[in-house]
Amino acid sequence: MGAVLVDGFVLGLQFGILGVGLTLVYGLGGVVNLAHGQMAVMAAIVTARLIDRGVSTAIAIVIGIAAAGLLGIIIDRTIMQPVYRDQTDHRVLLGLLLMLGVGFVIDGVLEWRYPIEALNLRVGGDPVSLFGLKIRRGSIWASAIIGLIGVALVLFFRFTTFGRATRSVIQDEEGARLCGINPAMVRTVIFGLSGALAGSVAMIQAMTSPVVSTAGVGLTIFALIVAVVGGLGSVSGAFLAGILLGIVNTLSAFYIGTFVSSIILVAAAAITILLRPQGLLSRA
């Protein structure tokens, strides 16, 4: 039970970071990024290929994360522009469909070129005993790194000028413009950050289990559920929802079965929309 809880918590932290990336992009531009998981996997495969070619692991990881960030920026500056210009109700649907298409493209390329590629950054060594539990070293590293990312994000959004500006665009885009903030620039930077966060999650996941080239769709669905439960546009909500759902997912997968755990996650999202449509926490 204890070890399962730890696994659930570590998975939940990863869900949380995925959800934060999705929720930020939605909050800023109304785009539901249905390629979020695919961007993460693309980063993993870039890193895996570079390691295969003899590039040092650290550099390969940085390049993989940067590639996902760059992809986010390119998507924002190109095919998302008509979405941002559209002021009608169709906007969300258009963004959703375009990102679904991007997801198909990434999945297609990965399946075509690298069907059996996987990123494995497994951390060696014996499990560490902590509070009477045997915890894998990879899990400890993963938790520590995500903890750092989480703290950095909180500090960024609370205390930096750009972080505040980002929250202001989420809460009232016109108000932000009146303060001299350029919402388009904020969207571009944050889409890039969101991609980089997705890439980081892939690297972290590879520390405990290999990330395969077909994992994208699953990650996207997890990110979407987490963002919905946490409240679309809420960073701390996404974090909290990620941890809760990670534990729920792992416990139900362990005690009942994997497919049941997926159903439970979707049910959690549906019930949240019915009972608390604003999500666990309010925006930004």
* Shorter beta-carbon distance to other proteins: residue 143 or 171: 171
* Shorter beta-carbon distance to other proteins: residue 49 or 77: 77
Residue type (1 letter), 173: E
Q: Which of residues 183-222 bind other proteins (CB under 8 A)?
A: 183
For position 77 contacting other proteins by CB under 8 A, the verdict is no
For position 278 contacting other proteins by CB under 8 A, the verdict is no
For position 174 contacting other proteins by CB under 8 A, the verdict is yes
For position 137 contacting other proteins by CB under 8 A, the verdict is no
> Structure tokens of 247?
């534990």
d(CA 233, CA 189): 16
Min separation Cβ 186 and other proteins, Å: 10
Q: Return the residue of 171, 209, 214, 262 that touches other proteins, per CB under 8 A.
A: 171
Q: Return the residue of 82, 172, 255, 270 that touches other proteins, per CB under 8 A.
A: 172
Neighbours of 60 (CB within 10 A): 22
Neighbours of 187 (CB within 10 A): 23
For position 168 contacting other proteins by CB under 8 A, the verdict is yes
| Cβ atoms of 205 and 14 closer than 8 Å | yes
Residue in 206, 218, 228 with CA at minimum distance from that of residue 10: 206
For position 161 contacting other proteins by CB under 8 A, the verdict is yes
| Cβ atoms of 94 and 31 closer than 8 Å | no
Helices (H), 53-89: 57-77, 81-85
CA angle 242, 246, 247 (to 5 degrees): 125
Min separation Cβ 236 and other proteins, Å: 11
* Shorter beta-carbon distance to other proteins: residue 80 or 284: 284
CA 210 to chain centre: 17
First to last CA, the chain: 34
Helices first, then strands: H and E counts in the chain: 12, 4
* Shorter beta-carbon distance to other proteins: residue 49 or 164: 164
* Shorter beta-carbon distance to other proteins: residue 43 or 186: 186
For position 167 contacting other proteins by CB under 8 A, the verdict is yes
Number of residues that bind other proteins (CB under 8 A): 20
Q: Return the residue of 179, 260, 270, 271 that touches other proteins, per CB under 8 A.
A: 179
Q: Using CB under 8 A as the criterion, which residues of the chain lie in contact with other proteins when the complex forms?
A: 161, 164-165, 167-168, 171-172, 174-183, 282-284
